């Protein structure tokens, strides 16, 4: 009886692992037009409007080479996502702002979404991931 329970449990775990891997995609973010190579880029991949610009599903900090950089997010499931990033010139891992809350460091989002009198909106930055996907962003 214990062997039967073990085999059933093993089959369940294996089927869950394979079902997750079958939907595993890669989102590549290509960033161009970076004004200088000082500091780093802080890049976030967001999976819903509630967390957009607050808590990324996945995040990376990357060094800048020349005026471009590439970030690859692996193991992304199909769905709706948005990317937001900023040029962290002083490498403090936060978007520096002035006394009025206006960013002093460059930032960008997927679809090159721009905010009007505020940050970009989820609706303007979102994209669908059905297969491996490449997002191109220009500063």
Alpha carbon 47 to its chain's center: 8
Continuous H helices in 48-109: none
Q: Is 15 in a helix, a strand, or coil?
A: helix
**pLDDT 10s digit of each residue in the chain, 139 long?**
544 433 444 344 444 444 445 689 999 999 999 999 999 999 999 999 999 999 999 999 999 989 999 999 999 999 999 999 999 999 999 999 999 999 999 999 999 999 888 899 999 999 999 999 999 999 8
Q: Model-level pTM?
A: 0.81
**Quick one: DSSP state of residue 106?**
-
Reported as half-sphere exposure (CB side, CA atoms, 13 A), residue 121 has a value of 4
């Amino acid at each position: 009886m214990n062997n039967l329970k073990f085999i059933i449990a093993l089959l369940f775990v294996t089927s869950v692992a394979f079902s997750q891997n079958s939907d595993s995609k890669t989102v590549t973010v290509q960033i161009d037009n970076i004004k200088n190579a000082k500091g780093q880029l802080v890049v976030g991949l967001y999976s819903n409007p509630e967390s957009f610009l607050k808590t990324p599903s996945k995040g990376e900090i990357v060094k800048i080479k020349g005026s471009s950089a590439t970030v690859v997010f692996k193991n992304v499931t199909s769905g709706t996502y948005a990317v937001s990033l900023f040029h962290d010139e002083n490498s403090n891992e936060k978007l520096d702002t002035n006394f009025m809350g206006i960013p002093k460091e460059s930032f960008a989002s997927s679809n090159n979404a721009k905010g009007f009198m505020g940050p970009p909106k989820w609706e303007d930055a979102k994209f669908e991931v059905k297969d491996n996907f490449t997002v191109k962003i220009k500063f």
